[in-house]
Chains A and B, each alone.
Chain A
Amino acid sequence: KAGVTQTPRYLIKTRGQQVTLSCSPISGHRSVSWYQQTPGQGLQFLFEYFSETQRNKGNFPGRFSGRQFSNSRSEMNVSTLELGDSALYLCASSHLGTASTYEQYFGPGTRLTVT
């Protein structure tokens, strides 16, 4: 099975712009979660989508949004970029099922730099 893929891998944007990141989960996985990773804050949960519906949301401003398509692919959007949005954005997919199968598979991440 192919792993979780994220595109693009690297991105440079300027303040005020918006950006869209894409994540393709492992085939058959219906849950996709997004995380922001920074040296200072570590890994912070952004949101999770399951069957095109947002199940959970972290404590991020409304500039951060996401969606999931019927094929489980997900996108996240950040509008009005700020310097502090520079981070590695990780996507993870999983089955939602029994505890023994619950595991998140991470993609390689998108490195976003805001200048």
Chain B
Amino acid sequence: AQTVTQSQPEMSVQEAETVTLSCTYDTSENNYYLFWYKQPPSRQMILVIRQEAYKQQNATENRFSVNFQKAAKSFSLKISDSQLGDTAMYFCAFMKHVGNRDDKIIFGKGTRLHILP
């Protein structure tokens, strides 16, 4: 069974600093997708970034980028020039290749990130 582990339950960084959130996963699949979701306080969860396992190039979305190490089964999220609005719970998630019967998303337990003014 697939598992997703986020080893940092909580982190705090100063505004404008760069922060990296860790995520490791376990799977025997070769084709899959990895996601980072953000859940701001009392607000809806939104997708931050997506990575397809068959792509070697790391995904980036503005200030958000990932370091995808397939062999190490590691998928960390880097937030550059952090802003107060980045304060949220961040979830790493794994999903088998779309089309598989059992392609539900599996979430890690989350990292609560505080951006300090």
With A99-B97, A102-B33 as contacts: A43 and B107 at CB distance below 8 Å = yes
Assuming the A-B contacts A56-B103, A106-B44, A106-B46, are A43 and B91 also in contact, with contact meaning beta carbons closer than 8 angstroms in the complex? yes
Cβ B106 vs Cβ A45 within 8 A: yes
- Interface membership of A62, Cβ < 8 A: no
Q: Contact: B97 with A3, CB < 8 Å?
A: no
B-contact 0/1 string along A49-90, CB 8 Å cutoff: 000000110100000000000000000000000000000001
A interface size (C-beta, 8 A)? 26
Partner of A98, one of B95, B98, B101, B107: B98
Residues of B within 8 A of A109 (CB): 44
Contact A43 B104, CB 8 Å, known A99-B33, A104-B47 = no
Q: Known contacts A90-B45, A103-B47, A106-B45; is A48 also within 8 Å of B104 by CB?
A: yes
B44 contacts which of A99, A103, A107 (Cβ < 8 Å)? A107
Which among A41, A43, A58, A104 has the highest number of chain B CB atoms within 10 Å? A43
CA distance A69 to B47 in the complex (A): 26
In the bound complex, CA of A108 to CA of B104 (Å)? 20
Determine whether B105 belongs to the interface, using a CB cutoff of 8 Å to chain A: yes
B105 touching A99, Cβ below 8 Å: no
A102 and B98 form a contact (CB under 8 A): yes
Q: Output the nearest chain B residue to A48 by Cβ-Cβ distance.
A: B104
B52 neighbours in A (Cβ, 8 Å) = 99
Closest B residue to A59 using CB positions? B1
**Interface check A96, CB cutoff 8 A:** yes
Contact B106 A96 (CB under 8 A): no
A–B Cβ pairs within 8 angstroms, 5 of them: A4-B44, A56-B102, A96-B98, A107-B44, A109-B44
Q: A: which residues have CB within 8 A of B?
A: 3-4, 33, 35, 41-45, 48, 55-56, 58, 90, 92, 96-99, 102-104, 106-109
